[in-house]
Structure 1
Amino acid sequence: MTRRILIIGGGFAGLWSALGAARVLDMESHASSNVEITLVSPKPELHVRPRLHEASPENMAVPFLPLLDAVDVKFIEGTVDCIHPTDHSVDITTTAGEKQSVSYDRLVLTSGSRLFRPPLPGLAEHAFAVDQIDDAVKLRKHLEGLASQPDTTARNTFVVVGGGFTGLEVATELPERLRAILGDSVRPRIVVIERSDAIGPDLGPGPRPAILEALEHLGIETRVGAGVVSVDATGVVTATGERIDAGTVIWTGGMVASSLTSQISPQLDRQGRLDVTPDLRVIGAKNVFGAGDVVRALTDDEDHYSLMSCQHALFMGRFAGHNVAADLLGLPTIEYRQPFYATCLDLGAWGAVYTEGWDRQVKLTHAEGKERKLLINTQWIYPPAADREQALAAGNPNITY
């Protein structure tokens, strides 16, 4: 009788969970001949979300079927509508519109996160985003269409709501993108609005001087200490009552976990994430593991918890995949640990700032930081080649780089 490991989600955590599980089955081939791994995702491609602020977001999808085939992982192209933990099954709607019920012996939830969109007046109708490829393509088409519009102050004003990681990358990329669209004679006004009292609140004081230097160098304005309370077709209004007329408003107001988490457990953190044991098993759900943006996992022995980032999702996926397969085969699981933590913030033509440690000690800035960012974004976070040996090696949770 076939036993199934089902992985929900084809992002960084899901893809590397598949590699991690396949590696265990390969090593334990004598005991795993009746075990199959199935991954469910709306499309057979990895969306490289950390790069969606760039000029060609439609190119940020990496097909992964050849990789799954190389490690004998099955694929279902569809969306999970409902999880039934007590029955060990999920309801799926395929891209062809068919309804399926798929059973599992072990489940790995890696369904990711989505942009938090509060019910602000006008937000849904008038604000752009870079959360998903479709969002980013919509923004690209809008920006490219500006050249055919009358040269007005509103056309040339751009508001980025949110001064966190994504907001800063979006804002600092805009000058170069707009120069290519509108020409050198237009000086766009770009304003970043952050409701906290400082730009980059979650990044801390370490990289802030570099961030502020970059913003000044690029001519980007900031508003801190007051968020946006409404958006309309011609601009925004902040909590202080200031109105900024702008033809382009981009919302980057934080992330929340996939709503599927609530079908596993009602115990969620403020971002909708599940708590897990050290081996990434969902607390209260014996046969369910989780990885990536849907879980809050302890990363080290100093009480640091995972963030919604590909850095944590990718590594966590290896551990979740290893452990779900080991658990099904009756082998010991291992504790997820990821003590090394780094950030690399793209700051457009100024460069980038690279930090290490949870206190974010600045190690590289300007062109050196940009070189590191390019390495991360174009090589390190991409899947391995569709070669069985390389793919299985990439699923090793003991990789230290």
Structure 2
Amino acid sequence: MKHRIVVLGAGYAGAYAAGNLGRRLSPADAEITVVNAEPDFVQRLRLHQFVAGQEIDAPKLADVFAGTGVRLRVGRVTTVDPARRVVAVAGADGEEGELGYDTLVYTLGSRVADHGVPGVAEHAFDVTGRPSALRLRQRLDELEHQAGRGEDRSVLVVGDGLTGIETATEVAESRPGLSVTLVARGELGARLSAGARGHLRRACDRLGITVVEHTVVEAVEPTRVRCADGTFLASDAIVWTAGFAVDPIAAAGGLEVTDDGRIVVDGSMRSVSHPDVYAAGDAAYAIGDNGLPLPMSCASAGYTGMRATDAILRHLTGRKTGHTSLTYHGNHISLGRRDGILQMVDGEGIAKPTFLGGRKAARIKAGILRMSLWTTSHPTFGIPKRQHRLAAPVLTPAEQAAA
């Protein structure tokens, strides 16, 4: 029987892993299936541009995997059962079925984290997925139309992490008829260097963004938020960007996870509790080369996806593969289309004193996004079509333990 590889999620980590495995493993030995909730590749890094009214490319996953032999199953993963080595998938029609696997690659990514704040799920928008970003875009279209008739309309962005900063600046630049407020728990851009913080503040001033600092939001209502000090901030659209969380599917399936639900992996991105499961991207709790956990980011997804792919190839074929370093270099922040910040960090993840800001930083960020799209939507580019047979025999983890 063929070795069944199932990849859950086709974001930056999953699409790369599936395409590479499909290109490098012989179809006579391996069967690769990708499960993804949507038929398209979503550029999550550019969803803030999408909500601002811009169009972004969304390649068809069927085209991404063309010629690799990878099978695409469009559906939502509902459960993972590592004991039986099956996953349950619900299709668009609601019908649920099971997929068996010999090797599972878990790259389901993350979603918005409400941190237990009441009203977030009911009343707030977010930009962590295309469906939620589309709802926000439609709402902003409505507000912009009303603003064009002379009505005052406002947008409130809660959270000044990278997603919040990029969303607030992009909306303010692309939809100047809307007033934008950015709520920061502490000082604006607290994790940036002093120079970068100053650049960010000047960008917000230039774009007319009202910044509310040292403010904790305790509840979200339909047209306002309640702050910890008892004050209220009104808004016609509340955008929640106060962090990310992972789906509880892995924890419910019995995989060893952290308190926040991420799968605990070793240096090869292999689950420490279930060695036939690999995890990459936001869903993996991976330790970087500096001994610190990698942050949830596109860069981390790329590094961990490469590590997982190489480890699977080594295990199945017995061949030597490359070694990908797990080093987080810094943050690349867009401030609209013509401004940005490149903030490098040291070995401890702390911002270095120097930074690059302005148009050059914006062009570099745009180049990084183009490269991320290209490498993910062309996962086999530059890889010789040299398909390897599986080592004989390939033992299951249980068989390896018994041996």
Task: Please give the TM-score of this superposition, normalised by the length of structure 2.
Answer: 0.85
- Cα drift, residue 140 of structure 1: 1.5
Aligned to 2:210: 221
Paired residues of 2:182 and 2:212 also in contact (CA < 8 A): yes
Question: What is the rounded CA distance, in whole Å, between the counterparts of 1:96 and 1:151 in structure 2?
Answer: 40
Question: What is the rounded CA distance, in whole Å, between the counterparts of 2:151 and 2:229 in structure 1?
Answer: 20
Deviations, residues 90-129 of structure 1 (Å, cap 9, x unaligned): 1222234333221111111001100012443433332222
Counterpart secondary structure, 1:69: coil
Letter in 1 for 2:361: G
Aligned to 2:371: 379
Counterpart secondary structure, 1:82: strand
Aligned to 2:17: 17
Larger mean Cα displacement after TM superposition, 108-117 or 145-154: 145-154
Larger mean Cα displacement after TM superposition, 372-381 or 253-262: 372-381
- Cα drift, residue 173 of structure 1: 1.2
Question: What is the rounded CA distance, in whole Å, between the counterparts of 1:214 and 1:12 in structure 2?
Answer: 29
Change (3 A) 1:371 1:189: same
Change (3 A) 1:315 1:155: same
Mapping for residues 141-220 of structure 1, pairs under 5 Å: 141-149=138-146, 155-179=152-176, 182=177, 188-195=178-185, 197-203=186-192, 205=194, 207-220=196-209
Aligned to 1:342: 330
RMSD, aligned α-carbons: 2.7
Change (3 A) 1:151 1:233: farther
Question: What is the rounded CA distance, in whole Å, between the counterparts of 2:151 and 2:236 in structure 1?
Answer: 5
Counterpart secondary structure, 1:280: coil
Question: What is the rounded CA distance, in whole Å, between the counterparts of 2:79 and 2:174 in structure 1?
Answer: 41
Task: Please give the TM-score of this superposition, normalised by the length of structure 1.
Answer: 0.85
1:123 and 2:120 correspond = yes
Aligned to 2:312: 324
Question: What is the rounded CA distance, in whole Å, between the counterparts of 1:90 and 1:8 in structure 2?
Answer: 9
Flag structure 1 segments of 5+ consecutive residues without an equivalent: 183-187, 394-401
Question: What is the rounded CA distance, in whole Å, between the counterparts of 2:194 and 2:248 in structure 1?
Answer: 33
Question: What is the rounded CA distance, in whole Å, between the counterparts of 1:265 and 1:60 in structure 2?
Answer: 37
Aligned to 2:91: 94
Paired residues of 2:270 and 2:278 also in contact (CA < 8 A): yes
- Cα drift, residue 280 of structure 1: 0.7
Paired residues of 1:71 and 1:392 also in contact (CA < 8 A): no
Deviations, residues 228-264 of structure 1 (Å, cap 9, x unaligned): 1222233222111222222221111110112222145
Aligned to 2:397: none
Counterpart secondary structure, 2:181: strand
Mapping for residues 16-165 of structure 1, pairs under 5 Å: 16-25=16-25, 29=26, 33-54=28-49, 55-56=52-53, 59-149=56-146, 155-165=152-162
Paired residues of 1:172 and 1:215 also in contact (CA < 8 A): yes
- Cα drift, residue 48 of structure 1: 0.6
Counterpart secondary structure, 1:289: strand
Deviations, residues 105-160 of structure 1 (Å, cap 9, x unaligned): 11110011000124434333322221211211211111121244378999433211
Paired residues of 2:156 and 2:237 also in contact (CA < 8 A): yes
Aligned to 1:259: 248
Counterpart secondary structure, 1:102: strand
Change (3 A) 1:80 1:231: closer
Question: What is the rounded CA distance, in whole Å, between the counterparts of 2:378 and 2:181 in structure 1?
Answer: 43
Counterpart secondary structure, 2:258: coil
1:314 and 2:302 correspond = yes
Counterpart secondary structure, 1:307: coil
Paired residues of 1:154 and 1:246 also in contact (CA < 8 A): no
Letter in 1 for 2:83: T
Letter in 2 for 1:366: G
Change (3 A) 1:83 1:333: farther
Change (3 A) 1:248 1:94: closer
Paired residues of 2:119 and 2:220 also in contact (CA < 8 A): yes
Aligned residues: 379
Q: What percent identity do the matched residue pairs reach?
A: 28
Change (3 A) 1:374 1:305: same
Question: What is the rounded CA distance, in whole Å, between the counterparts of 1:153 and 1:266 in structure 2?
Answer: 55
Letter in 2 for 1:39: V
Flag structure 2 segments of 5+ consecutive residues without an equivalent: 386-403
Larger mean Cα displacement after TM superposition, 271-280 or 353-362: 353-362
